[in-house]
């Protein structure tokens, strides 16, 4: 199959609609990461997402719609706090897990009676969703376990020859996946951290907690190995630069080239120890989120190993730190 990579325009969006209508897959940009979309009402199309990604059969998908789409056709009337959250954060990098009306394919939610809904805000995502005007089931557009894609090229590298169309909207500004929030209980419960934090949600609706790990897995996707680039990875605390250099030296003896994913402080410390190869993660939570996957994907092409450093244990860094930790371990 030929894979076309093209910017969203009248022609490519009409083609995207036609492909989805006949049960095919279309990759599209959002403000977080690229998605791999199918018509959420089409059983066979949804099944093919799992097949092409190599995705475990018990990891449900998010349904994407444009802001004018009537979500009351898909989910039960949400609680009052959800309406407030939607008013404050949607369209945006947040996903609401709600009680499903069961009108999309049961494969989308892997048999759960809930449905995850996301209304993205990037112009290119909105032009796509408005043009196709249907509920689009879409996971991140990467092979299962691989680093999520933040450019059309990343998507192409994983699915070249396997999908007909990638809409190229440039590099994603958010850089990590949406915050997934269980909105079926009395208070919002964060299942997957993202750019919108528990503090942001608390500021709007008063209460918000992170789902306890160790209990029943409420967001099945969070239990799998995730985000790994195709190179060696490791993570150290910023105080452990000497250990990091020792590991880099070991890897170099094995014939591998090594890059460090740094802040200004770790770069300064590593430079004193004679290191020269750096990717700048950035100095803010926003920058770190925007850059993390981008550099993980760059590292697998340019180096044999990447060494990262842990980020402050704050709510704002939680989303990106969660991804980096997994990418740099065997978790």
Q: CA dihedral defined by 125, 126, 130, 134, rounded to 10 degrees?
A: 50
Q: Is 219 in the site for ligand TXA (CB under 6 A)?
A: yes
Q: Does 322 bind Mg ion (CB under 5 A)?
A: no
**Are residues 160 and 117 in contact, defined by beta-carbon separation less than 8 angstroms?**
no
Helix count and strand count (H, E) for the chain: 10, 15
Contact between residue 117 and residue 74 where contact means Cβ atoms under 8 Å apart: yes
Nearer CB in complex with Mg ion: 112/205: 112
Distance CA 122, CA 104 (A): 24
Which residue lies nearer to Mg ion by CB, 79 or 318?
318
Q: Which of 66, 79, 107, 118 binds ligand TXA (CB under 6 A)?
A: 118
Alpha-carbon 69 to chain mean position: 23
Task: State which residue, 182 or 275, has the beta carbon closest to Mg ion.
Answer: 182
Residue 180 contacts which entry, ligand TXA, Mg ion, none (Cβ below 5-8 A, type-dependent): ligand TXA
Binding track over 72-91 against Mg ion, x by CB under 5 A: --------------------
Residues 19-38 that bind ligand TXA (CB under 6 A): 30, 32-33, 35
Question: Which residue in the shown chain puts its C-beta closest to ligand TXA?
Answer: 221
Q: In the bound complex, what is the minimum distance in angstroms from residue 144's beta carbon to Mg ion?
A: 8
Select the residue interacting with Mg ion from 12, 100, 127, 140 (CB under 5 A). Answer: 140
Interface with ligand TXA, residue 222, by CB under 6 A = yes
Stretch that binds Mg ion, among 88-96, 133-141, 193-201, 232-240 (CB under 5 A): 133-141
Residue 212: strand, helix, or coil: coil
Tell me the site size for Mg ion, rule CB under 5 A. Answer: 1
Distance CA 153, CA 158 (A): 9
Q: State the minimum distance, in angstroms, from the CB of residue 287 to ligand TXA.
A: 18
Q: Which two tokens stand for residue 234?
A: 């490791």
According to DSSP, residue 26 is labeled E
Residue 135 touches ligand TXA, criterion: CB under 6 A: no
Helix/strand/coil for 85: helix
Burial class (CB in 10 A: 0-12, 13-18, 19+), 190: buried
Pick from 24, 92, 139, 175 the residue near ligand TXA by CB under 6 A. Answer: 139
> How is residue 241 written in tokens?
């630069």
Site stretch for ligand TXA (CB under 6 A), options 135-143, 231-239, 250-258, 297-305: 135-143
Site string for ligand TXA, 59-98 (x = CB under 6 A): xxxx--------------------------------x-x-
Residues 137 and 52: their CA atoms lie apart, in Å, by 14
Q: Is residue 177 close enough to count as binding ligand TXA by CB under 6 A?
A: yes
With vertex at residue 92, the alpha carbon angle to CA 89 and CA 94, rounded to the nearest 5 degrees, is 75
Run of H or E including 306: strand 305-309
CB of 231 to ligand TXA, least distance (A): 21
Does 95 interact with Mg ion (rule: CB under 5 A)?
Answer: no
> Considering only 78-86, 138-146, 187-195, 248-256, which stretch makes contact with Mg ion by CB under 5 A?
138-146
Tell me the DSSP string of 152-198. HHHHHHHHTTT-SEEE---S-SS-SPPEEEE-SSSS-EEEE--SS-H
Question: Residue 137 in contact with residue 38, Cβ under 8 Å?
Answer: yes
Binding site for ligand TXA (CB under 6 A): 30, 32-33, 35, 59-62, 95, 97, 109, 112, 114-116, 118, 138-140, 177-178, 180, 191-192, 218-222
Binding site for Mg ion (CB under 5 A): 140
């Amino acid at each position: 199959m030929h894979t076309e990579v093209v910017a969203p325009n009248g022609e490519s969006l009409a083609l995207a609609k036609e492909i989805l209508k006949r049960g095919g897959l279309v990759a599209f940009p959002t403000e977080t990461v690229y998605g791999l979309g199918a018509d959420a009402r089409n059983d066979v199309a949804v099944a093919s997402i799992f097949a092409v990604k190599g995705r475990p059969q018990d990891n449900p998908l998010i349904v994407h719609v444009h802001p004018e789409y009537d979500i009351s056709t898909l989910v039960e009337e949400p609680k009052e706090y959800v309406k407030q959250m939607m008013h404050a954060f949607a369209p945006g990098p947040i996903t609401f897990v709600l009680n499903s009306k069961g009108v999309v394919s049961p494969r989308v939610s892997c048999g759960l009676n809930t449905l995850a809904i996301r209304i993205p805000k990037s112009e290119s995502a909105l032009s796509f969703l408005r043009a196709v005007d249907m509920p689009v089931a879409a996971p991140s557009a990467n092979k299962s376990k691989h680093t999520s894609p933040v450019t059309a090229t990343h998507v192409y590298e994983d699915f070249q020859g396997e999908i007909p169309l990638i809409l190229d909207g440039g590099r994603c500004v958010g850089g990590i996946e949406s915050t997934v929030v269980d909105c079926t209980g009395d208070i919002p419960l964060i299942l997957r951290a993202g750019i919108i934090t528990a503090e942001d949600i608390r500021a709007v609706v008063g209460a918000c907690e992170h789902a306890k790990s160790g209990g029943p897995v409420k967001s099945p996707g969070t239990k799998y190995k995730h985000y790994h680039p195709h190179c060696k990875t490791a993570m150290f605390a910023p105080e452990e630069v000497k250990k990091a250099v020792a590991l880099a030296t070991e890897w170099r003896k094995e014939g591998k080239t090594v890059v460090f994913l740094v802040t200004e402080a770790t770069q300064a410390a590593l430079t004193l120890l004679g290191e020269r190869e750096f990717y700048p993660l950035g100095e803010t939570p926003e920058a770190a989120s925007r850059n993390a996957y981008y550099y993980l994907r760059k590292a697998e092409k340019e180096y044999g190993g990447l060494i990262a450093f842990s980020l402050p244990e704050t709510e704002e860094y939680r989303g990106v730190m969660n991804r980096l930790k997994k990418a740099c371990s065997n978790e």
